[in-house]
Amino acid sequence: MSSTIFRHEFRSRLKSVLTWSVAVTLIIFFYFSIFPSFADQTEMLNQMMAKFPPALLEAFGMNRADLSTVLGFYCLVFLFIQICLAVQAGNYGFGLVSIEESELTADFLLSKPVSRGQVLTSKLLAALACLTLTNLVVWVSSFIAIALFKGDRSFDVGTLVLILLSIVIFQLFYLSVGLVISLLVKRVRSVTPFSLGLAFGTYILNAFSGVFGDVALELITPFKHLDPNYIVQHGAYNQPLVLLNLTITIISLAASYWLYTHRDIHAVS
């Protein structure tokens, strides 16, 4: 771990962290501002829905958390936060080491008296610190937004904390998968197409999993692994899927270290 690299990486990302934090805060407040009027409408709907067979509701994914409750609505908002966080973490992951090659600074960095393992560790920790800053912003603005707009409805703080705790697992997944993909391909010219493709690809897979029962494909998307609706319904994580998620993260990280220390990095010619 080299503190110089850490500091440089951290500082160069601060502006991006600020932008994402503002974006996430805006999303939370914007969506929550329609919660009071929305909740009243859905309460009527829920009474109607109670009469239908549960099998049907399940088929259409309507057995999800109910939108008239604070946490049910929060699940909906959280999905959009997740998309943003996925793009952000993916950006950092894909750009973590590839940016040195595309900006022709790789040979400068590697001529320093720091091992490649140390370079990667410092960079990873710096990116993680940046993601954690955004994570904290999500925590704070979620609590404030809920307190502002919940009215006289009550909610279970423990479950909300559980949902918010899942963020760090979620971010680590995109960070490490992005990193390993960027090391597997020959050259990353531009980071955004990669991270957008990864984030929205997994999001769409998850979106369809709700419509019709179960097919194995959604098992690969973190949106399913850390589905807030599941957490609200069961008051706990979906353990096998979270373990699967963590396994993928750890394997990607290990593979990244191996790939990076063995990578053939071209000097500027």
Partner 1 sequence: MNIFFRELKANLKSLLIWSVIIALLIMAVTAKYSAFVGDASMLKILDSLPKAMLDVFNMRAFNLTTLTGFYGLMLVYFALMGAIAAAMWGSDLISKEERDKTVEFSLVLPVTRSAVVTAKALAGLVYCFAFVLITWGVSLVAIRSFNPEPAFYSYLALEMQALLVIELIFLSIGLLLGCAMKQYKRSGSTTVAIILITYFLYVLSSMQSSLDFLKYFTPFKYFDASQLLQSGHMDGFFLLLSAIIIVVSLIGAYWIYNKRDLYI
For position 201 contacting partner 1 by CB under 8 A, the verdict is yes
* Dihedral angle, C-alpha 251, 253, 259, 265, nearest 10 °: 160
For position 18 contacting partner 1 by CB under 8 A, the verdict is no
Q: Which of 6, 9, 17, 27 binds partner 1 (CB under 8 A)?
A: 27
For position 204 contacting partner 1 by CB under 8 A, the verdict is yes
- For residues 211 and 205, give the distance between their C-alpha atoms in angstroms, rounded to a whole number: 11
Do residues 135 and 165 touch, judged by C-beta distance below 8 A? no
Q: Which is nearer to partner 1, 28 or 231 (CB)?
A: 28
- For residues 221 and 150, give the distance between their C-alpha atoms in angstroms, rounded to a whole number: 31
Angle between helices 116-149 and 239-261 (to 10 degrees): 150
Q: Which of 1, 18, 56, 265 binds partner 1 (CB under 8 A)?
A: 56
Output 79-84 pairs: Cβ under 8 A, ≥24 positions apart: 79/223, 79/228, 80/27, 80/31, 81/24, 81/27, 81/28, 81/138, 82/170, 82/203, 82/223, 82/226, 83/199, 83/200, 83/203, 84/20, 84/23, 84/24, 84/27
For position 235 contacting partner 1 by CB under 8 A, the verdict is no
Q: Which is nearer to partner 1, 108 or 212 (CB)?
A: 212
Least distance to partner 1, CB of residue 192, Å: 4
For position 151 contacting partner 1 by CB under 8 A, the verdict is no
Q: Which of 184, 208, 251, 254 binds partner 1 (CB under 8 A)?
A: 208
- Number of chain positions touching partner 1 (CB under 8 A): 43
Instruction: Give the footprint of partner 1 on this chain (CB under 8 A).
Output: 16, 19, 23, 27, 30-31, 34, 37-38, 41, 45, 48-49, 52-53, 55-56, 59-60, 62, 80, 83-84, 87, 102, 189-193, 196-197, 200-201, 204-205, 207-208, 211-213, 215, 217
